[in-house]
């Protein structure tokens, strides 16, 4: 019998230099869509307001569910009592918007610099506006964070507020687009697994609870703090591959199915058809990707599961897989499935990493927006990492689209070359 360890024990190249990533406020853009009676109040500067406004510009057509309480220069200089001002802003907001049931006070670099205690503010405001509104705080600050950590901080802050339960249940943590979440729940229902709850819930009143008989699976690999918070409530984590691609989805489902005693026969029956569909869809895009090399700069924290998908299902060769943080407890199963070879780097020293990418000249470089244009100008083909977070990419029905996100830039570059020589 052979034990497959792949890259499970590969040492990490740890870098702690300058980083090029968006801050955690960015995650509000997808979180506010998931939580329909929530409001995200960023306690920050005009820079924070601009980031949200430009990143989420589409929201101007809808009643917004996020805003910024601007810290003025007097606040930053410690001349005003920012807590009093915050209370006034929140009272104004909640009297105008009676639809808000959960209010998130979101910390930022400026609120952290002046040491504004948002935890205290959330407790005080929760008492004042209970039971209509629950006030929770978390940090989206850009100091030492990356943008997907905003979701992790938000969900980790919700966990202690969840009611206790003793029932045996499956909890799924991580925000997914509604259509993808429905597919996931339909698959689990087909396997006869239940009851199932999802964090974050769409509404404050949705019955999400947690306790010692709860087992949970993550659908996003960037939820390290949420995992720890759920474990503190007695829940048990089910380690698994992440549900990217046919193999990832099947193994994610299998880990849950084994926990709930689903028969192999039922598992095959429920997964057979969507698996075949996913394999076929991936194969089409994989024709462009096969034998091409890929280099990941650290950005979304999806890098390791995506590298596993690209190497195992699309035939790519991973040169370096950079991730802002590597939680082996979370991405260990994905690393274990990968053939030895790639460098796994954690954190960033952007100049050193750019040198490595230039020397390696990968066929495809997955990186943040700030690095993509300069690298394209140097003749490298790039994929914006942030798109992978905003596009539905999980589970069987999205497997072909996920492969397509990586093959498109290569096809575009090839078409441009043909154009140049024509």
DSSP secondary structure letters along 264-320: HHHHHHHHHHHHHHHHHHHHHHHHHHTT-EEEEPSSSS-HHHHHHHHHHHS--EEEE
Distance, CA of 255 to CA of 237 (rounded, Å): 11
Enter the tokens of residue 319. 């040169």
Residues 76-135 that bind ligand SF4 (CB under 6 A): 108-109
Residue 367 is assigned to a ligand binding site: no
Closest CA to 118 of 100, 130, 128, 105: 105
Among 6, 142, 322, 409, binds ligand SF4 (CB under 6 A): 142
Least distance in angstroms from the C-beta of 266 to ligand SF4: 47
Enter the tokens of residue 191. 């396997």
Least distance in angstroms from the C-beta of 15 to ligand SF4: 20
* Residue 132 neighbours by CB under 8 Å, 6+ apart: 101
**Please, is 357 exposed, middle or buried when counting C-beta atoms within 10 Å of its C-beta (0-12, 13-18, 19+)?**
buried
Least distance in angstroms from the C-beta of 118 to ligand SF4: 13
Of 36 and 53, nearer to ligand SF4 (C-beta) is: 53
For residue 9, the tally of other CB atoms under 10 A from its CB is: 11
Of 24 and 221, nearer to ligand SF4 (C-beta) is: 24
Of 6 and 24, nearer to ligand SF4 (C-beta) is: 24
Least distance in angstroms from the C-beta of 345 to ligand SF4: 23
Of 44 and 362, nearer to ligand SF4 (C-beta) is: 44
Closest CA to 285 of 342, 338, 245: 245
Radius of gyration of the chain (CA): 22
For residue 360, the tally of other CB atoms under 10 A from its CB is: 15
> Does residue 48 belong to the site contacting ligand SF4 (CB under 6 A)?
yes
Of 89 and 251, nearer to ligand SF4 (C-beta) is: 89
Least distance in angstroms from the C-beta of 354 to ligand SF4: 21
Closest CA to 37 of 86, 92, 104, 123: 104
**Please, is 149 exposed, middle or buried when counting C-beta atoms within 10 Å of its C-beta (0-12, 13-18, 19+)?**
buried
Binding mask 4-43 for ligand SF4 (x = CB under 6 A): -------------------x-x------------------
> Does residue 47 belong to the site contacting ligand SF4 (CB under 6 A)?
yes
CA distances from 8 to 131, 204, 301, 306, 341 (A): 47, 39, 17, 15, 12
Widest pairwise Cα distance in the chain? 70
Of 4 and 115, nearer to ligand SF4 (C-beta) is: 115
Distance, CA of 217 to CA of 225 (rounded, Å): 14
Least distance in angstroms from the C-beta of 158 to ligand SF4: 20
> Does residue 150 belong to the site contacting ligand SF4 (CB under 6 A)?
no
Cα-based torsion angle of the residue sequence 16, 173, 321, 369 in order, rounded to the nearest 10 degrees: -80
Least distance in angstroms from the C-beta of 100 to ligand SF4: 22
Of 25 and 278, nearer to ligand SF4 (C-beta) is: 25
Of 46 and 203, nearer to ligand SF4 (C-beta) is: 46
Least distance in angstroms from the C-beta of 68 to ligand SF4: 9
Distance, CA of 394 to CA of 384 (rounded, Å): 17
> Does residue 154 belong to the site contacting ligand SF4 (CB under 6 A)?
no
Least distance in angstroms from the C-beta of 92 to ligand SF4: 22
The footprint of ligand SF4 on this chain (CB under 6 A) covers a number of residues equal to 12
Question: What's the number of CA atoms in the CB half-sphere (13 Å) around residue 346?
Answer: 10
Among 21, 38, 43, 51, binds ligand SF4 (CB under 6 A): 51
Of 44 and 243, nearer to ligand SF4 (C-beta) is: 44
- Tell me the residue number closest to ligand SF4, measured at CB: 142
Among 6, 44, 245, 368, binds ligand SF4 (CB under 6 A): 44
Burial profile 222-248: b = 16 or more Cβ within 10 angstroms, e = fewer: bbbbbbebbeebebebbebbbbbbbbb
> Which chain residues interact with ligand SF4 by CB under 6 A?
23, 25, 44-45, 47-48, 51, 108-109, 140-142
* Known binding residues for [4Fe-4S] cluster: 23, 48, 109
* Known binding residues: 23, 48, 109
């Amino acid at each position: 019998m052979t034990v497959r360890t792949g890259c499970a024990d590969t040492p990490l190249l740890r870098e702690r230099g300058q980083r090029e990533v968006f801050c955690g406020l960015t995650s509000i853009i997808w979180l506010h869509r998931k939580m329909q009676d929530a409001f995200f109040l960023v306690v920050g500067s005009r820079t924070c307001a601009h980031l949200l406004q430009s990143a989420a510009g589409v929201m101007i057509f809808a009643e917004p569910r996020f805003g910024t309480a601007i810290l003025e220069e007097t606040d930053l200089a410690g001349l005003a009592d920012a807590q009093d001002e915050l209370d006034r802003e929140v009272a104004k907001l909640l009297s105008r918007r009676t639809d808000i049931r959960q209010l998130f006070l979101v910390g930022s670099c400026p609120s952290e610099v002046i040491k504004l205690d948002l935890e205290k503010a959330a407790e005080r405001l929760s008492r004042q506006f209970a039971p209509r509104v629950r006030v929770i705080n978390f940090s989206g600050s850009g100091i030492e964070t990356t943008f997907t950590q905003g979701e992790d901080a938000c969900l980790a802050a919700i966990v202690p507020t969840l009611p206790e339960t003793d029932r045996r249940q499956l909890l799924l943590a991580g925000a997914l687009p509604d259509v993808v979440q429905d597919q996931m729940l339909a698959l689990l229902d087909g396997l006869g697994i239940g009851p199932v709850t999802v964090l974050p819930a769409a509404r404050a009143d949705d019955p999400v609870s947690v306790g010692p008989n709860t087992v949970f699976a993550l659908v996003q690999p960037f939820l390290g703090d949420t995992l720890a918070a759920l474990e503190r409530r007695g829940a048990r984590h089910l380690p698994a591959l992440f549900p990217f691609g046919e193999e990832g989805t099947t193994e994610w489902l299998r880990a849950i199915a084994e926990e709930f005693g689903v028969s192999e026969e039922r598992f095959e029956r429920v997964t057979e058809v969507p698996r075949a569909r996913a394999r076929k869809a991936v194969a089409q895009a994989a024709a462009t990707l096969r034998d091409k090399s890929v280099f990941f700069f650290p950005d979304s924290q999806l890098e390791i599961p995506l590298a596993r998908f690209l190497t195992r299902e699309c035939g790519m060769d991973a040169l370096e897989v950079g991730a802002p943080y590597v939680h082996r407890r979370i991405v260990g199963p994905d690393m274990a499935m990968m053939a030895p070879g790639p460098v796994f780097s954690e954190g960033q020293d952007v100049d050193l990493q750019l040198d490595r990418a230039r020397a390696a000249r990968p066929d495809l470089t997955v990186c943040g927006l700030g690095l993509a244009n300069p690298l394209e100008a140097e003749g490298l083909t790039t994929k914006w990492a942030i798109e992978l977070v905003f596009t539905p990419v999980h589970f069987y029905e999205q497997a072909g689209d996920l492969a397509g996100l990586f093959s498109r830039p290569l096809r575009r570059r090839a078409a441009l070359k043909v154009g140049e020589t024509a």
